[in-house]
Amino acid sequence: MLLSNLSSEIKQYLVITGNYWAFTLTDGALRMLVVLYFHQLGYSPLSIAMLFLFYELFGVVTNLLGGWLGARLGLNKTMNLGLSLQILSLVMLAVNPQWLSVAYVMAAQALSGIAKDLNKMSAKSAIKLLVPENADSTLYKWVARLTGSKNALKGVGFFLGGMLLGVFGFQGALWAMAGLLILAWLSSLVLLKQDLGKKKFKPKFSELFSKSRQINILSAARLCLFASRDVWFVVALPVFLSSTLGWEHTLIGSFMAGWIIFYGIVQANAPKITRNQTAPTKQLTFWAGLLTVIPAIIALALYQHIAATWVIVIGLLCFGGIFAINSSLHSYLIVKFADSDGVSLDVGFYYMANAMGRLFGTVLSGVIYQTFGLEACLWLSSLLLLFTVMISKRLHHA
């Protein structure tokens, strides 16, 4: 089918998706580059976690303020701003390695965190505006495909991060990614609608915080859900694979890339797996409960000294598949519950909670792993998932 024959909504969806893809590819690669490069330089797990502190912290603020800005200025502007800040972050890190102090890297990561959440909030909010009212099945499919394809490309980014570090070095990889994003940014400036997502009446600053009980409960569940993932995945897992199992950087990048790609494929196909959409909130509780037991099983297997490599590989695949379904259901429900007029306000508040979960998970990943090891990170992951189940049950009566 020729592009000229597509509806304006589909064309905008393709622009938004392409924009999101390009950004995600560099975001995944940058995360892997930073973890592996600074581990190679001898940084401790806690120090590596601290490099991401501002990335996650500024994501919390960005989602809150970005939703408000998107409703006032339009989602095209917040999306393009996110791309430009990511380009600046990449260029900042591509300087002489002697300049890369902890404070400097944290500042560059702060810009990257702002950029990522501006881009994600804008993309997720825009989907709500492109799907007709009461077309829940279509909305679920579009959100799942956008989110799933994003995560698959993030996995490719993980692979590229590990590979490019080994082949071209830290600086060469960063310059290449900056060039890719400049092309995406120029295309976005030309093709995105100028009024996408603007609220009919300029929202007040006091409207930043959601007044919807459904969104507040879903946001709290999202915080615990993503903290449960990042508490062992962000810092603890790649350092464990490198220092304990002796994996090479390229192998770590490839493995984590494969996991994210698998995760993205499951996420994109979640509407087929969760066929019964009549009670999505009850499905949320079921899948969160199923996920709760997996980190505990992995921890027990490691404690019993069962072959660690196979335990990690199989356990991570099981965790990733079920986590993907949880994440897809969450992404669909927030877009469904959000108010169409100024949708970015509700979505921004929700992804603020998401960023807070990542922040807590990232910091705890470094602290707990350095102090107690990977098994403790896994037990904490199960505890956080139990909280997710308990909070999600409140949605049944919201």
Mean pLDDT of 262-269: 86
pLDDT digits (tens, 9 = 90+) for 148-177: 777 777 777 777 777 777 777 778 888 888
Number of domains in the chain: 1
φ and ψ at 168, to 5 degrees?
-110, -10
Tokens 């996408």: give the residue.
196
Count of beta carbons in the 10 Å neighbourhood of residue 386: 17
What confidence tens digit (pLDDT) does each residue in 216-250 have? 888 899 999 999 999 998 788 888 988 888 888 77
The pTM score is 0.74
Type of residue numbered 83: L
Domain encompassing residue 71: 3-397
pLDDT of 211 above 50: yes
- CATH code of the domain in which 346 resides: 1.20.1250.20
Coil, strand, or helix at residue 121?
helix
| Model pLDDT, residue 142 | 74
Distance between CA atoms of residues 170 and 301, nearest Å: 36
pLDDT, residue 1, reads 43
**Measuring CA to CA, how many Å separate 163 from each of 111, 159, 225?**
24, 6, 30
With b meaning 16 or more CB within 10 Å and e meaning fewer, what string describes 300-337? ebbeeeeebeebbeebbbbbbbbbbbbbbbbbbbbbbb
71 vs 326, residue with greater confidence: 326
